[in-house]
Structure 1
Amino acid sequence: MNQQHRFLSSWPEFTRNTFYTLLTKVFILVSGALATIIIARWLGPEGKGIYSLIVLIPALLAMAGDLGLGIANTYYGRTKRYSIEQLTANSLTQALTIGTVVTTAFLAYYFILQPKFLESVEAVYIILACLTVPLKLFTVYLSCIVLGQYRLSAYNLISLIYNSASVILTAAALIVFNLGIGGMVYAFVLIELTGMIITLLMLRSHVHIRFGFDFAVFSNLLGYGIRGYIGNLVQFLNYRLDLLMIAFFLDAASIGYYSVAVAGAEVLFYLPGAVGTVVLARTPGISVEQANSSTPIICRNTLVISLVSALFLLIFAHIAVEILFGEEFLPAVMPLWLLLPGAVAMSIYKVLGNEMAGRGKPGLLVKASLLGLSINIILNLLLIPRLGIEGAAIATTVAYILIGFVALVIFSKNTGLAMRACVFIDANDLRMYKHLITTLRKKNRRG
């Protein structure tokens, strides 16, 4: 039985889970685009840039405070090493404690050193945004427990409600009440609070919600999570370092333009993100042989679809930005184009990184992320002063392509699978497409 046949035997479940997760990602894409359009149109390039910088701070702090404990919850929950009760109690205590510590540390840094890149932001907005860090950690830790239960519908519902709240509260703050940046910051706090509450409700029917702490559980979670944490933290910096460096070298309007370009290019992350989520939840429950059979097929087909999607973005980006954001945001088009090749390459990393985490090796691709970050920093320092936001886009794309390639090399060496098998579709893939189309047609006829 060849790889395609083995994969097709488990195809219905994988396809169903990926399809529903992708639908969720599409909803997130649409709702995120609506929120971004509202913010851009009502606040303008400068206001959009300032708000992007404000919400970036708690995102960085939450990423720093995660310590890999979220993905560890998924792994240990899926392998049933610890009970849901143990994971939930520990997660509540960890989120509150770690969130408070990193928030306090950052605010001390902010008020003592008064960093230049935040000088355009009012202090009260920084304080309010930082209050969401524990809320973010609650949501991340607990939603990863839901994912570890393989309750993908519940996991996706958390994202659906969170992003619905984001659009509604953004529209209320800017369109209905015209509250400006200040109103958006308060709306941001309410959005994060909504995320935490809905996650608690999703768990409440399966476990008694209580605070608790078991050092042995924490130690093992940290031991697993820290291996992937460094890579995830470094990768997050790869995603957002360019915005921080633009804030240092350029003005708030440039941040606004570039944030729109990033949002457009990261549309390509939604399919690999959906696939990666299912792969992460699926891999701990299957054999190494099954993973080796299916992963190359999943990776190369995700890459091809991402490439086709990038071509559509390349063609329609200019008109889309003009219609959705207005002519004043047209400077975002060129950096968006420049980001596309890197965004396609990152689909490889997103699939293979989650696959290796599912095998119990979450830190395996950290070398790829570290190398990419090093190149990203050097190129941003060289190119932003000379080329502005286009320079930042070039730096990021080069880093992303390097990350994707190194991830392929590392994955191949650790699994013995050929790199080309993860990149190039073959005749078997075409036969698989034909088989799937035939199956869908038969189902439609029966319906």
Structure 2
Amino acid sequence: MVKNYSLTKDGISVFATQILTLVIGFISGVLLARWLGPSGRGVFTALLVYPTIMISLLSMGMRQATVYYLGKKKYSESDIVGVTLLLLISSSIIGVLISVIIISYTKNSGYNQMLILLASLTIPADLTINYFTGILIGKQRISKFNQVMYLVPIINLALIFFLVYFEKLYIVGAVLATLAAKIVLAIYALLLINREYTLKICCVPEMIKRMVSLGSIYAFSLFILNLNYRVDIIILEHLSNVAEIGQYTIGVGFAELLWQLPAAFGLVIFAYSANAKDSDKFSQDIAKMVRIIFPIVFIGSVFLYFASGYIIPFLYGEEYIPSIKMLKILLPGIVMMSFFKIINMDLAGRGKPDVTIKLFLPAVLINIVLNIILIPDFGGCGAALASTISYTLASISILYYYMKITQLSLSDIFICKKSDINFLLGLFHALPIKR
């Protein structure tokens, strides 16, 4: 029970950090939407979508592999840090080169060489954050991880005010603000790790082979997930216009607010799952998390459905009214993905990232086909519908698999129990206690 409380309290602490970063990021998004307009916002979003996808692939799953091997204690921690640094440098160089080539090949009239280079340079910064926060998570230093994560939106917001509003750099300023904030966060993450370990490149062929082998599966799994989340924007860029991309981005951003709670617990679940001695017992804890979190997400979706018609025009202006319908179409798929995000992280912690690939790849293909069919006639609404269908199919598939390997029933996972209420009451009383 103590460990269960620890998991939940760590999840709450990550969620609180995410709420802080979300509020600040939300303000930044509103300001950018107003100062850049739908077209400028669309160019900004489309420009960064390629580095985002590249990061998910070139991270090579090192955060997840690091958490797994630290939890299983198969290698010395100093060697794991040294190998991580070597792989970080290699992947960063490759990532920048590939990103510049890909974005240049799109020949979007809104891009210039400076914008392309600045966007591509976010890759080394993001990879540094990704790799080295994996060490913090693997050591269950959740409070340190939280410290790293809330800095970037604060710096980003300050730079947006300075570069976009005062200096009138607009899209260039927005990209510069994003890059600078990530660089500061990357440096801070390195300093935290350097306090405990010597940052020295380590080349241990066997360890590199094992970490890359497992990590590549994690990476491809994450790549598939990110591709499914962002392929609609890529197709919109080719079959629609940047203004509609800007409107669609706002709808997606609002809908994905509902993922903050399951995403926060998913990250902590991954760390605890990698360290779990009894996987079957831990699955019971995961079911409890779903029973508590899923109803909260559902209620939040109902609120967004009815309130978005007032909130979006008030915050973003009349130009973003089309975002409301896109958001409403996305909501069912977003709700279904909420339990996916929890279950999937338990499977990842067990060293089974390949399950996500097998079950999610068909959903990605369906998403691509539906986007190509629906976007020409329905624009952003067609993209939203394609995503909802894809998310729903993927979530049902992984739920069926998880029930099969854990022997849990639908009622075990979704029907709230009296013990859940008692657990929440106990957690409420335990929260003020310092561990």
- Please report the TM-score for the alignment, with normalisation by the length of structure 2: 0.94
CA deviation map 1:211-253 (0-9, x unaligned): 3322222111112222222221111001111111111111111
Structure 1 residue 270 and structure 2 residue 260: aligned?
yes
Structure 1 residue 40 and structure 2 residue 30: aligned?
no
Alpha-carbon offset, residue 405 of structure 1: 0.4
Query: Which residue of structure 1 aligns with residue 146 of structure 2?
Result: 156
Would the aligned equivalents of 1:283 and 1:359 in 2 still touch at CA under 8 Å? yes
The residue correspondences of 1:409-428 to structure 2 (distance < 5 A) are: 409-422=400-413, 424-426=414-416, 428=417
Query: Which residue of structure 2 aligns with residue 108 of structure 1?
Result: 101
Alpha-carbon offset, residue 431 of structure 1: 4.2
Amino acid at match of 2:161: A
Alpha-carbon offset, residue 439 of structure 1: 6.6
- Quote the Cα distance in structure 2 between the aligned partners of 1:302 and 1:135: 32
Change (3 A) 1:80 1:90: same
CA deviation map 1:315-373 (0-9, x unaligned): 21121111211111111111011111111111121111110111121222222210210
Query: Which residue of structure 2 aligns with residue 242 of structure 1?
Result: 232
Structure 1 residue 401 and structure 2 residue 368: aligned?
no
Alpha-carbon offset, residue 181 of structure 1: 1.0
- Quote the Cα distance in structure 1 between the aligned partners of 2:388 and 2:339: 14
CA deviation map 1:39-64 (0-9, x unaligned): 10111111111111122121111112
Q: How many residues align?
A: 431
Would the aligned equivalents of 2:41 and 2:246 in 1 still touch at CA under 8 Å? yes
SS in 2 for 1:360: coil
Structure 1 residue 313 and structure 2 residue 307: aligned?
no
Would the aligned equivalents of 1:61 and 1:103 in 2 still touch at CA under 8 Å? no
- Quote the Cα distance in structure 1 between the aligned partners of 2:396 and 2:85: 38
Would the aligned equivalents of 1:162 and 1:194 in 2 still touch at CA under 8 Å? yes
- Quote the Cα distance in structure 1 between the aligned partners of 2:349 and 2:241: 42
After superposing the two structures, state which structure 1 stretch, 387-396 or 179-188, moved more. Answer: 179-188
Would the aligned equivalents of 1:54 and 1:126 in 2 still touch at CA under 8 Å? yes
SS in 1 for 2:143: helix
Structure 1 residue 130 and structure 2 residue 120: aligned?
yes
Query: Which residue of structure 2 aligns with residue 5 of structure 1?
Result: none
Query: Which residue of structure 1 aligns with residue 61 of structure 2?
Result: 68
Would the aligned equivalents of 1:162 and 1:191 in 2 still touch at CA under 8 Å? yes
Query: Which residue of structure 1 aligns with residue 346 of structure 2?
Result: 355
Change (3 A) 1:442 1:84: closer
- Quote the Cα distance in structure 2 between the aligned partners of 1:443 and 1:16: 7
Q: Which of 368, 371, 375 pairs up with 1:384?
A: 375
- Quote the Cα distance in structure 2 between the aligned partners of 1:109 and 1:54: 11
Alpha-carbon offset, residue 434 of structure 1: 4.6
5+ residue gaps, structure 1: 1-7
Alpha-carbon offset, residue 97 of structure 1: 1.0
Q: Which of 191, 200, 204 pairs up with 1:201?
A: 191
CA deviation map 1:129-179 (0-9, x unaligned): 112212211110011111101000011111111222122222221223222
Change (3 A) 1:132 1:9: closer
Amino acid at match of 2:303: F
- Quote the Cα distance in structure 2 between the aligned partners of 1:135 and 1:91: 14
- Quote the Cα distance in structure 1 between the aligned partners of 2:270 and 2:173: 37
CA RMSD, aligned part only? 1.8
- Quote the Cα distance in structure 1 between the aligned partners of 2:82 and 2:271: 21
Alpha-carbon offset, residue 420 of structure 1: 4.0
Query: Which residue of structure 2 aligns with residue 332 of structure 1?
Result: 323
Query: Which residue of structure 2 aligns with residue 433 of structure 1?
Result: 421
Alpha-carbon offset, residue 435 of structure 1: 5.3
Query: Which residue of structure 2 aligns with residue 227 of structure 1?
Result: 217
Alpha-carbon offset, residue 10 of structure 1: 3.3
Change (3 A) 1:264 1:120: same
Change (3 A) 1:250 1:89: same
- Quote the Cα distance in structure 1 between the aligned partners of 2:61 and 2:361: 16
- Please report the TM-score for the alignment, with normalisation by the length of structure 1: 0.92
SS in 2 for 1:364: helix
Change (3 A) 1:74 1:33: same
- Quote the Cα distance in structure 2 between the aligned partners of 1:224 and 1:347: 25
- Quote the Cα distance in structure 2 between the aligned partners of 1:440 and 1:105: 49
SS in 2 for 1:32: helix
Query: Which residue of structure 1 aligns with residue 3 of structure 2?
Result: 10
- Quote the Cα distance in structure 2 between the aligned partners of 1:193 and 1:66: 16
- Quote the Cα distance in structure 2 between the aligned partners of 1:295 and 1:182: 44
Alpha-carbon offset, residue 443 of structure 1: 8.5
Amino acid at match of 1:120: G
